[in-house]
Amino acid sequence: DGVTDVTDKLCVEIEAAEKTNNPSVTSATPSVARVWISFTQRQFSPQSDFPKVQWHPRVLWVGIGCERGTSRELIEIAIEQTFKRYHLAQSAIAGIATIDIKADEVGLVELCRDRNFPLRTFPADILRSIPVPNPSVIVDQEVGTPSVAEAAAICASLTSTPHTPSPIPLLVPKQIFHPPIQNPKSKIQNPKGAVTVAIALAEQEYTGRTGQLLLIGTGPGKLDQITPAAKTAVSLADAVIGYSLYIDLIAPILRPGQIIERLPITQERQRAQRAIELAQWGLTVAVVSSGDCGIYGMAGLVLEELKTQGWDGKMPGVQVFPGITALQAAASRVGAPLMHDFCAISLSDLLTPWDVIEKRLEAAAAADFVIALYNPRSRTRTEQLAIAHRILLNYRNSQTPVAIVRSAYREDEEITLTTLDKLLDIPIDMLTTVLIGNQSTSIYGDWMITPRGYY
């Protein structure tokens, strides 16, 4: 199969060769079909007798300016003639864009309704901020912006291409149409009004779907610990993105046909960016985190990335599905250690300076919180747990109960009840949650209990 760039990255021609098992057939086998993918209209040679097809992605935003009362007929003729003049395919129209005061323009509304075009409108102050090649003083005096058609086309293409750092250049500059306009296909000659048309090219196709980001906490890992709402969300998603281990843990509830993207543990930001990218294409994307997605999970990172990209709070849509956290799962395996005030502190200093973590450890220990330690130790980060241990011993009795829970609710689950002085004697890694009691916490048999109050 050969792929040839024609005018830009959105124009490709694909020649498909017939597949055969005959070893004598080389790559020089003549093409048996041709596919043209572009926003332009292709004329195939009439001599070619093999199948041909054209696909026109909806990437062209048509900016329209018009006099009040302009007929739908004139607007349609203006668009048709502009597309014909520039060899563009009307099937590639993503939608119509104009100034907000034209939102009720009858001819424009009728055209969009009958042709199933989305109509995007923008206020004058937004349009006047867009650099255009053909500003008009007269238009500025009339509606408060020197450009409607050109600026609106650019604005619409920008909202469809959120990662573009600068204005998109016009594909077709402003074209002006006044009656009389002769159209042999039209029953109405010299239709009423005046129209300006401009066209901008978006880098991303308009699909007509509002993408959704489903930020999902899958709990500690066992399928029966995932909430019904989270399970339903995963099953409804077009795409599922997450750390490979977390994807593997929920594999039984994935369905055929879903896009599954596994990314390494250090690529959290890339996961967020990829999820947003797919949602902007109109897909429903599940971003999975173990535990609760809003507690050391992906929810905050996705929302931060959306904020950075200037998200309007609506597109894509966002829903958050909570999950059972690591500290909840660990606590449930040893009894009721969190019955009074508690806090969670991550010992990972990859994103938080260690001096900040130390201050939090000091404050929590001094205030007698029950403390849940996340990310206590890794292969390369071993000193942090020892420092935390020393800080805690400055405020807690050496016999303070401690629960060490590794991989709660998973097949390789390990649970150890011990005391603070023996904390460092137990194997601890990144899959471990450490629960350190307060001055009232006690051990009774195999249970760790913190009273609801001090007495």
286 phi/psi in degrees, rounded to 5: -95, 125
Lowest mean pLDDT among 137-141, 181-185, 214-218, 386-390: 181-185
Q: Has residue 5 got a pLDDT over 50?
A: no
At residue 20, the pLDDT reads 44
The pair of structure tokens assigned to 418 is: 């011990």
Q: Average pLDDT of 14-28? A: 49
At residue 37, the pLDDT reads 85
CATH H superfamily, domain 327-449: Tetrapyrrole methylase, C-terminal domain (3.30.950.10)
- Residue 3: pLDDT band (50, 70, 90) is very low
Q: Average pLDDT of 218-246? A: 95
Residue-wise pLDDT tens digits, 262-271:
998 889 999 9
Contacts of 84 (CB under 8 A, 6+ apart): none
Q: Average pLDDT of 120-141? A: 94
At residue 24, the pLDDT reads 44
Looking at domain 60-201, which CATH architecture does it have?
A: 2-Layer Sandwich (3.30)
Which CATH topology does 212-324 take? Cobalt-precorrin-4 Transmethylase; domain 1 (3.40.1010)
pLDDT, greater one: 185 or 447: 447
**Neighbour tally for 419: CB within 10 Å:** 15
Output the average pLDDT for the chain. 88
Kindly provide the residue ranges of all beta strands, DSSP E only, lying in 315-354, ordered along the sequence: 317-321, 335-336, 342-346
Q: Has residue 334 got a pLDDT over 70?
A: yes
Q: Strand pairing of 401-406 and 414-419? A: antiparallel
At residue 293, the pLDDT reads 96
Q: Average pLDDT of 312-329? A: 94
Domain ranges within the chain, ordered by starting residue: 2-55, 60-201, 212-324, 327-449
Measured distance between the N- and C-terminal CA atoms of the chain, rounded to whole angstroms: 79
Q: Has residue 454 got a pLDDT over 70?
A: no
Q: What is the DSSP letter of 36?
A: E
Residue-wise pLDDT tens digits, 382-421:
899 999 999 999 999 999 999 999 999 999 999 999 999 9
Percent of residues, the chain, with pLDDT higher than 90: 74
Buried-exposed string 233-265: b where 16+ CB fall within 10 A, e elsewhere: bbeebbbbbbbeebbebbeeeeeeeeeebebee
- Residue 34: pLDDT band (50, 70, 90) is confident
